[in-house]
């Protein structure tokens, strides 16, 4: 599963960039430690909410972790 070439940098203490594959409804997250994960079954509006959240890290922790199935990529 390739990570989208166009990742959007974000201002976060833990996340460096995010990306979205609309066709597969998959959100890609790159963390500061270099790890990258794919979260599956994410609706487009939910990615928009993540992208525009005042705190991307807090939003991710509340609305993605332990909610969507994921895998390390």
Q: Mean pLDDT, to the nearest integer, of 5-22? A: 92
DSSP per residue, 13-70: SSEEEEEEETTTTEEEEEETTS-EEEEES--HHHHHHHHH-SSHHHHHHHHTTTTS-E
Q: In this predicted structure, what is the pLDDT of residue 41?
A: 98
Q: Where residue 2 falls among pLDDT bands split at 50, 70, 90?
A: low
pTM above 0.75, yes or no: yes
What is the structure's pLDDT at 6?
76
What is the tens place of the pLDDT at every residue in 24-69? 999 999 999 999 999 999 999 999 999 999 999 999 999 999 999 9
Residue 4, pLDDT score: 63
């Amino acid at each position: 599963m390739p990570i989208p070439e166009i990742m959007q940098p974000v201002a976060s203490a833990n996340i460096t960039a995010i990306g979205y594959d609309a066709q597969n409804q998959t959100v890609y997250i790159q963390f500061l430690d270099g790890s990258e994960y794919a979260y599956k079954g994410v609706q487009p509006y939910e990615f928009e909410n993540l992208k525009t959240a005042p705190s991307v890290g807090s939003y991710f922790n509340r609305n993605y972790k332990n909610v969507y199935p994921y895998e390390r990529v």
